[in-house]
Chain A
Amino acid sequence: MSARGLHAGIVITALGVALAASSHARAEDPMDMDAVLHRSFRTATPDEWTSRLAQDETQALCSRYRNLPPAEVAAKIREAQERTFRYPGDGRLSGDWRDGAKLAAIGTGGHIGRIQPDPPGRPKGGNCYACHELAKGEVAAGNLGPSLTGFGLRLGDTAESRAYTYRKIYNAQAFHACSAMPRFGTNGWLTPEQIADLVAYLLDPGSPVNAR
């Protein structure tokens, strides 16, 4: 089973339990979050429900502590995330920075609903520019995350820096519990190969991120 499959399996099982419990809770407390969600997202399909509205354990913990988990909970989260890493079949953690550049800019993919859904098959990107500065001179960059301009100049393009960068993009929360950054690999949003392309974009000396 893939990481995603396993993950989904756990979520579905957890959801089953939650639903069984909540149908009981619902009768007593109409303001129970599950009850509210069921009433509000009536048109959600069972699959959308499991993949988009139900929480995995990490999401539930980060929500409960509003992203400031106590130290022992944070350690537990990081430890659980450590176990989610998967790597490209060929073992290469750095790919093509040109493909990485495209992925860093693409903000589409995965939008649903009747108002403005993405057409089927629309590519999903990392949308890194939403939160980070990357290539030198690209001003349309957000600041939710730290600037990554010159990232490769700082870290060097080595086996260690590739491994760190790959893992950070795959699952930021293995390093920083409840980070605002999406867990791109663990959540199956990007493939291991796409993440390797982003590693190249960040570290490759030829990438505009590392222009002097």
Chain B
Amino acid sequence: MTFRDRLLPWVTALASCLVLVAGARAEGRSAADAIHEYREMLEDANPADLVEMRGEELWSTARGPRHASLEQCDLGLGPGVLDGAYARLPRYFADTGRVQDAESRLVTCITRLQGIPREDVVRHWYRRGSDIEALVTFVAARSKGSPVDVPAREPHEAALLAVGADFFFRRSGPLDFACSTCHSQDDRRIRLQEVPNFTDPAAARASMTQWPAYRVSQSSVWTMERRLVDCIRQMRYPEPGFASDVLVALQLYLQHQASGGVMQGPGIRR
């Protein structure tokens, strides 16, 4: 099949999904129901597959001043070991002395192996079609079927896990919001959007195993950092830095909560 042949059914289904989501809103059905119908139409294909393919290409192509690929990147299980690596992130890396998530570790590899300056990699990481989006999608897809496994017993990880849990409940700003305001009770909705209760491991598993996710409303894949930055924006906080401690700490908390869940991502979200 050509690229266009693969793309076409998605474009059609996508248009219908937007209608479905809008329709669901009008009828008071949840966006989740509409997404379910959308998936059936796609016969379980996901537009994220295209992003994943681009990520694979970025991973294996020699680029940057050092003309190297990323194939020797160590995501925690050894250089070049991809399968199951995302499901064990964030984790502590002795060579950087930091607890890193997928985004931040990929940047380490790009700067070290390929010699591309960090600023160039990170500047537009959040934009649709960014290299980070594609690479994270590719790497996460290689954990499909692996259980999330983030015990966070290593001392640096344990310390940052405590920070993540504290931040999750830390209220501030003009609306007094914390993550826990919206994400600490069962069966809650903000308008029509279901908000998972991350204090419940079962709900955390159901949610986290779907990420990164193709967001129909944004027509792009969002990494977990991208998702968190948007919730933090809605809290009316300033924007946290890319791969900053707060973003890594929150992911550590969420992945720890979700441990035991089997990775299905990249998923599909509203």
- Chain A contact residues, CB within 8 Å of chain B: 31, 33, 36-37, 39-45, 48-49, 51-55, 59, 62-63, 66-67, 110-116, 129-131, 139-144, 180, 182-183, 187-189
Say which residue of A53, A111, A115, A142 sits within 8 Å of B191 (CB atoms). A142
Contact A53 B173, beta carbon cutoff 8 Å: yes
A48 / chain B contacts, CB cutoff of 8 Å: 238
Give A139 to B27 CA distance when docked, in angstroms: 7
Say which residue of B27, B172, B193 sits within 8 Å of A53 (CB atoms). B172
Contact B167 A142, beta carbon cutoff 8 Å: no
Query: A40 with B176: in contact, given A131-B190, A142-B188 (CB under 8 Å)?
Result: no
B200 at the interface (CB under 8 A from A): no
**CB of A84, distance to nearest CB on chain B (Å):** 13
- Chain B contact residues, CB within 8 Å of chain A: 25-28, 126, 159-160, 162-163, 166-167, 169-178, 180-182, 184-185, 187-193, 229-230, 233-234, 236-241, 244-247, 249
Contact B229 A115, beta carbon cutoff 8 Å: yes
**CB of B96, distance to nearest CB on chain A (Å):** 15
A187 / chain B contacts, CB cutoff of 8 Å: 174-176
Say which residue of B26, B163, B171, B234 sits within 8 Å of A59 (CB atoms). B171
Q: How many A-B contacts are there with CB distance less than 8 Å?
A: 133
Give A49 to B241 CA distance when docked, in angstroms: 14
Count chain A CB atoms within 10 A of each CB in B25, B167, B174 and give the residue with the most: B174
Give A129 to B237 CA distance when docked, in angstroms: 21
B181 / chain A contacts, CB cutoff of 8 Å: 144, 180
Say which residue of B126, B171, B175, B236 sits within 8 Å of A63 (CB atoms). B171
B230 / chain A contacts, CB cutoff of 8 Å: 115-116
Contact B172 A142, beta carbon cutoff 8 Å: no
Contact A113 B233, beta carbon cutoff 8 Å: yes
Query: A183 with B173: in contact, given A140-B25, A143-B188 (CB under 8 Å)?
Result: no
Say which residue of A41, A43, A55, A67 sits within 8 Å of B246 (CB atoms). A41
Contact B166 A52, beta carbon cutoff 8 Å: no
Say which residue of B176, B191, B239, B246 sits within 8 Å of A183 (CB atoms). B176
Query: A140 with B191: in contact, given A55-B172, A111-B233, A112-B238 (CB under 8 Å)?
Result: yes
A43 / chain B contacts, CB cutoff of 8 Å: 238-239, 241
Give A129 to B126 CA distance when docked, in angstroms: 29
Provide the main secondary structure of the chain B interface.
Answer: mixed
**CB of B152, distance to nearest CB on chain A (Å):** 13
Say which residue of A63, A116, A144 sits within 8 Å of B233 (CB atoms). A116
**CB of B21, distance to nearest CB on chain A (Å):** 12
B244 / chain A contacts, CB cutoff of 8 Å: 39-42
Contact A33 B163, beta carbon cutoff 8 Å: yes
**CB of A62, distance to nearest CB on chain B (Å):** 5
Contact A40 B246, beta carbon cutoff 8 Å: yes
Q: Nearest chain-B residue to A51 (Cβ)?
A: B174
Give A183 to B172 CA distance when docked, in angstroms: 11
Contact A63 B170, beta carbon cutoff 8 Å: yes
Give A142 to B170 CA distance when docked, in angstroms: 22
Q: Nearest chain-A residue to B182 (Cβ)?
A: A144
Say which residue of A63, A66, A113, A189 sits within 8 Å of B238 (CB atoms). A113
Say which residue of A52, A67, A143 sits within 8 Å of B173 (CB atoms). A52
A31 / chain B contacts, CB cutoff of 8 Å: 159-160, 162-163
**CB of A183, distance to nearest CB on chain B (Å):** 6
B233 / chain A contacts, CB cutoff of 8 Å: 111-113, 115-116
Contact B247 A40, beta carbon cutoff 8 Å: yes
**CB of A86, distance to nearest CB on chain B (Å):** 16
Contact B241 A110, beta carbon cutoff 8 Å: no
Query: A115 with B126: in contact, given A66-B180, A140-B25 (CB under 8 Å)?
Result: yes
B245 / chain A contacts, CB cutoff of 8 Å: 36, 39-40
Query: A59 with B172: in contact, given A53-B238, A139-B27 (CB under 8 Å)?
Result: yes
| Additional pairs, 11, CB under 8 Å, beyond known A113-B233, A142-B192 | A36-B167, A37-B246, A41-B239, A53-B237, A62-B171, A63-B170, A63-B171, A66-B169, A111-B236, A112-B233, A115-B233
Give A113 to B238 CA distance when docked, in angstroms: 6
Give A180 to B183 CA distance when docked, in angstroms: 11
**CB of A19, distance to nearest CB on chain B (Å):** 15
Contact B176 A182, beta carbon cutoff 8 Å: yes
16 contacts between A and B (CB under 8 A): A33-B170, A39-B245, A48-B238, A52-B174, A52-B237, A54-B172, A59-B172, A59-B176, A110-B175, A112-B236, A113-B233, A115-B230, A130-B190, A139-B28, A140-B25, A142-B189
